[in-house]
């Protein structure tokens, strides 16, 4: 039963059809572009643990959660999440955070959401690996992690490898060169070939002239 709930929440994180009970569902969606990686993390506390989560968010104990409190909660989670490309750590920047109505949180049907972006270093075309690790609140959590369909056709997802609990995922993808890059490389290769041919032909002409001078 819980597996079906998890899949439904991952596919439609804002439209849950069942109430979580005693787990903290953490569904990570990872989008890869040529210049950056975007993480969307949806956090849905079950009914039994929702009061504790609300207490951690509602710092002024006012019975509701403000945008500032949600942002502060999201910022406290961010250090527990890591992104890397080809084994090199990436710095994530929180760009958005939001919360459903408090009653939806209490009923285990509304997810908190945080969005973070990490800029990629300049990568050559070829195969690369983006790695994500979620270390937030491991006790009592259910993790899900998936790569999203790339918007840029230069990105092709090849493989997704997760650990047993899906708190970590390695996404292998290909980065294809742009048409402009291919054109520049082709032109550069052609120019190099023409330069080499010209140098070879000039060398032949010089040898012929040298021979002609000797025989003259």
CA–CA dist 51, 44 (Å, integer): 12
Indicate the pairing of strand 88-90 with strand 141-147: unpaired
Bridge partner list, 83: 90, 132
CA–CA dist 28, 30 (Å, integer): 6
Give the pTM. Answer: 0.76
pLDDT band at 209 (very low <50, low <70, confident <90, very high): confident
User: pLDDT (tens digit, 9 = 90+) per residue, 105-161?
Assistant: 999 888 999 999 999 999 999 999 999 999 999 999 999 999 999 999 999 999 999
147's tokens:
């790569």
Residue 89: its pLDDT value, please? 98
| CB-count exposure of residue 153 (10 Å: 0-12, 13-18, 19+) | exposed
User: pLDDT (tens digit, 9 = 90+) per residue, 183-207?
Assistant: 555 666 666 777 877 788 777 778 7
User: pLDDT (tens digit, 9 = 90+) per residue, 1-34?
Assistant: 333 334 444 444 444 446 788 999 999 999 999 9
């Amino acid at each position: 039963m819980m597996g079906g709930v998890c899949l439904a929440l991952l596919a439609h994180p804002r439209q849950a059809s069942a109430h979580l009970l005693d787990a903290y569902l953490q569904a990570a969606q990872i989008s890869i572009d040529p210049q950056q990686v975007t993480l969307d993390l949806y956090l849905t506390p079950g009914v039994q643990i929702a009061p504790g989560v609300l207490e951690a968010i509602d710092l002024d104990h006012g019975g509701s959660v403000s945008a500032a409190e949600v942002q502060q909660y999201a910022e406290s989670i961010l250090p527990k999440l890591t992104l890397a490309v080809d084994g090199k750590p990436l710095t994530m920047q929180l760009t958005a955070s939001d919360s459903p109505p408090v009653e939806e949180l209490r009923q285990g049907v509304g997810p908190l959401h945080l969005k973070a972006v990490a800029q990629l270093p300049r990568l050559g075309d070829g195969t690369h690996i983006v790695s994500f690790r979620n270390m937030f609140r491991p006790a009592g959590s259910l993790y899900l992690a998936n790569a999203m369909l790339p918007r840029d056709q230069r990105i092709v997802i090849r493989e997704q490898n997760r650990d047993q609990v899906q708190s970590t995922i390695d996404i292998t993808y290909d980065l294809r060169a742009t048409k402009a890059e291919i054109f520049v490389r082709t032109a550069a290769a052609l120019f190099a070939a023409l330069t080499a041919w010209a140098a070879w032909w000039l060398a032949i002409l010089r040898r012929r002239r040298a021979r002609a001078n000797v025989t003259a």
